[in-house]
Amino acid sequence: FFNKEGDFNNLTAAAYHKKTHLLVTGFASGIFHLHELPDFSLIHSLSISDQRIASISINCTGDWIAFGCSGLGQLLVWEWQSESYVLKQQGHFNSMVSLAYSPDGQYIVTGGEDGKVKVWNTSSSFCFVTFTEHNSGVTAVTFTSTGYVVLSASLDGTVRAFDLHRYRNFRTFTSPRPSQFSCLAVDSSGEIVAAGSQDSFEIFIWSMQSGRLLDVLAGHEGPISCLSFNPMKCVLASASWDKTVKLWDMLDSWRTKETLIMNSDVLVVAFRPDGKELAVAALNGQITFWDHENAAQTGSIEGRHDLQMGRKELDKITAKQAAKGKSFTTLCYSADGQSILAGGLSKFVCIYNVKEQILMKKFEISCNHSLDAMEVFCVSREMKDFFCGHGTTSLSFTNCDMSYRHFKPEIRVTCVRFCPTGRSWAATTTEGLLLYSLDSGLIFDPFELDIDVTPSNIHKTLSQKEYTMAIVMAFKLNEKKLIQEVVEAVPSSEVDVVCSSLPDLYVEKLLEFLASAFETSCHLEFYLIWAHKLLMLHGQKLKTR
């Protein structure tokens, strides 16, 4: 049918809904058609993107159609009868580089290599505004202390301020000579904006109110890698590839108050929330802590081995050897200042205790083996031939070439930030924007989806040994006899597992049931095991509520 139209070459995705005889077809040009079968009458066609439609899905009633455009990272849900969007979301279609939390922790702003600045809602996980004014990659983003203004620095030579009330770019800061800005900081009052240049080695200071350039700080002999304002004092710390961290005093007409000499190129600098300590990460993989008032080093962490670099597909050296040249590229103190979060060119994010200088926890951000540098040991066919001398295979390097048809993006963490509330943290990675939280209320609960809940289905679920699901279904029906039957059918060895996977909503219901069961049941020890496990796992959460 489409061949007659001459469109068949462009067809990229299709879906058919049996009940309503609806055929949805997507094309390389971003257009989709809706046809009614069997007589192929066109209901409507629409262009939703300028990229190819990669996948289509229709919901069970046939009212909503979901489209995915992989080129732009778009997800659209379209209600075809009312011809309106139910959902429209788009990520950064290049990697995200930077992120920042709003002061109340409700929003996250991200900047990407695609030049876009996006603001996300942390509770719904949706992006609600996108700013596209930058002409080149965004290198840094931040919120002001009010939480209503977002600032972004870019390689296009501008720093832009966006208003979250009216969603507009109300200030654009530029330098006298065009410079590529690599980092950004705003002071605690929100009045002073500073940006570091990676080509002229200077730091530019502007006034937020007037938009005027106030000062240009020169002194570094290499690209500026990071800027950070002291939250409590008028002091700006700047890190550079010239192996120094400089402290500039705003009240003393921006004179250099102190210069801290490092052993290696400095990549990132961060003040503790109380402003009394400075953390510095350098190219040699070390994180050092400084009392900046007295220019004295108070401690250091050797973090290279914790990064645990993966081995790329065509690396000639082992991951262990490669790790010697790796370092942390992003740091952030926790809200209480007792621990520090660090990430870099690796699939791990590390949390260290600052006082004890030990690793507290390591988070693995991805298990996706379609990304490069995921394996610690690599036994690819080409490597074998290369090292063992078998056959005459020559080692091909096309896998690393971006112009080659297939290349693997390398796993990395570009930015980590703690939420000001101290309950969660976020990271921008090759996999996207990831949020880690102590509050399991943020976790999507699939048990709330409509399941055909009947006693026979509950018994069937029990026989398949899906105990948690069976308990949830029994509570949905809310028949005491059935709940008792399901709970008593769980083997005592499985109680621990069931309690840990039970959604919060049902923990309270189960505790209420146990309280009443203690009065009448003869299975006292069995019910005590349940109560003990539930309170050990969920007691803290119940207490805070």
CATH of the domain at 529: 1.25.40.190
Q: Which two tokens stand for residue 186?
A: 């705003």
Consecutive H or E run containing 528: helix 524-544
Same domain, 426 and 370: yes
Q: Which two tokens stand for residue 266?
A: 């400095």
Share of the chain residues as helix, strand and coil, in percent rounded to the nearest 5: 20, 40, 40
Consecutive H or E run containing 197: strand 192-197
State how many domains the chain has.
3
Same domain, 426 and 462: no
Global pTM value: 0.74
Q: How many CB atoms lie within 10 A of CB 246?
A: 22
Q: How many CB atoms lie within 10 A of CB 107?
A: 20
Q: Which of 26, 57, 90 is the last residue of a domain?
A: 90
* Contact between residue 417 and residue 426 where contact means Cβ atoms under 8 Å apart: yes
- Residue 370 included in any domain: yes
Same domain, 425 and 469: no
Q: Which two tokens stand for residue 433?
A: 């924007």
Order of strands, edge to edge, in the sheet holding 213-217? 181-186, 192-197, 203-207, 213-217
Q: Which of 41, 74, 90 is the last residue of a domain?
A: 90
- pLDDT at 91 (0 to 100): 86
Rounded-to-integer distance, Cα 464 and Cα 456, Å: 13
- pLDDT at 475 (0 to 100): 85
- Residue 282 included in any domain: no
Rounded-to-integer distance, Cα 81 and Cα 86, Å: 12
- pLDDT at 238 (0 to 100): 97
Q: Which two tokens stand for residue 400?
A: 């690393």
Domain that holds residue 413: 304-376+409-436
Same domain, 427 and 488: no
- Residue 496 included in any domain: yes
Q: What is the dihedral of CA 398, 402, 404, 406, to 10 degrees?
A: 90
Same domain, 460 and 536: yes
- 299 burial (CB, 10 Å; 0-12 / 13-18 / 19+) is middle
- Phi-psi region at 263: left, alpha or beta (left = phi > 0; alpha = psi -120 to 50): alpha
Rounded-to-integer distance, Cα 212 and Cα 218, Å: 18
Q: What is the CATH number of the domain that holds 81?
A: 2.40.10.480
Write the CB contacts of 377 (distance below 8 Å, at least 6 apart in sequence): 311, 318, 319
Rounded-to-integer distance, Cα 15 and Cα 55, Å: 9
Same domain, 417 and 520: no
Same domain, 31 and 71: yes
Convert 511-539 to b/e letters by CB count within 10 Å (16 or more is b): eebbeebeeeeeeeeebebbbebbeeebe
Block mean pLDDT (10 aa), the chain, length 545:
67 93 91 90 87 93 92 88 89 88 94 94 89 96 95 96 95 95 95 95 95 95 96 95 95 90 95 95 94 93 80 68 77 94 92 94 87 64 45 35 68 93 91 84 44 82 90 85 92 91 88 89 92 89 76
Q: Which two tokens stand for residue 375?
A: 């394996």
- pLDDT at 248 (0 to 100): 95
Same domain, 421 and 510: no
3-state secondary structure of 311: strand
Write the CB contacts of 94 (distance below 8 Å, at least 6 apart in sequence): 112, 113, 114, 137
3-state secondary structure of 96: strand
Order of strands, edge to edge, in the sheet holding 358-364? 328-333, 339-344, 348-353, 358-364
Provide the β-strand partners of residue 330.
343
